[in-house]
């Protein structure tokens, strides 16, 4: 229980929204189960199987949303921002080396440094 509180404190989603999301998931699952019983009156086994699949999908989406709440952390599923920035830098350097200095860059350079004058 303590670990769940510490984990919830690290997320950027406010704690109140977290509880509202949990309440909404419980209401949706209750409504789906009620409607499945009405839809499959004669075969209750099908309604149990369909509810299990739907509930598993909704809970899986909720876990994915929790993981996407902080994509720039240190978890295994987070983006590797250092590698992304390094690759972007290396691509920009390679592009500039391959294409040389563009003409618009040569024309727009100031002749004197305005900060040193």
**What pLDDT does residue 95 have?**
82
**What pLDDT does residue 13 have?**
59
**Sequence-separated contacts (24+) of 56-64 with Cβ below 8 Å:** 58/25, 58/28, 58/29, 59/25, 62/21, 62/25
Per residue of the chain (117 residues), what is the pLDDT tens digit? 455 555 555 555 566 777 788 888 889 988 998 888 888 888 888 888 888 999 899 888 888 777 777 777 777 777 888 888 889 988 888 887 777 666 655 555 555 655 555
**What pLDDT does residue 6 have?**
55
Entry pTM? 0.49
Return the domain boundaries, the chain: 2-108
Alpha-carbon span 39 to 46, nearest angstrom: 10
**What pLDDT does residue 4 have?**
54
**What pLDDT does residue 106 have?**
56
**What pLDDT does residue 18 have?**
74
């Amino acid at each position: 229980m303590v670990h769940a509180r510490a984990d919830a404190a690290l997320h950027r989603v406010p704690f109140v929204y977290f509880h509202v999301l949990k309440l909404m998931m419980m209401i949706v699952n209750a409504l789906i189960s009620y409607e499945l019983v009405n839809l499959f009156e004669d075969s209750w086994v099908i309604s149990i199987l369909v509810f299990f699949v739907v509930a598993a999908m909704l809970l899986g989406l909720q876990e994915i949303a929790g993981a996407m709440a902080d994509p720039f952390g240190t978890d295994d599923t987070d983006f590797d921002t250092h590698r992304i920035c390094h690759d972007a830098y290396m691509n920009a350097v390679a592009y500039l080396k391959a294409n040389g200095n563009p003409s618009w860059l040569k024309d727009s350079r100031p002749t004197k440094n305005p900060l040193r004058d």
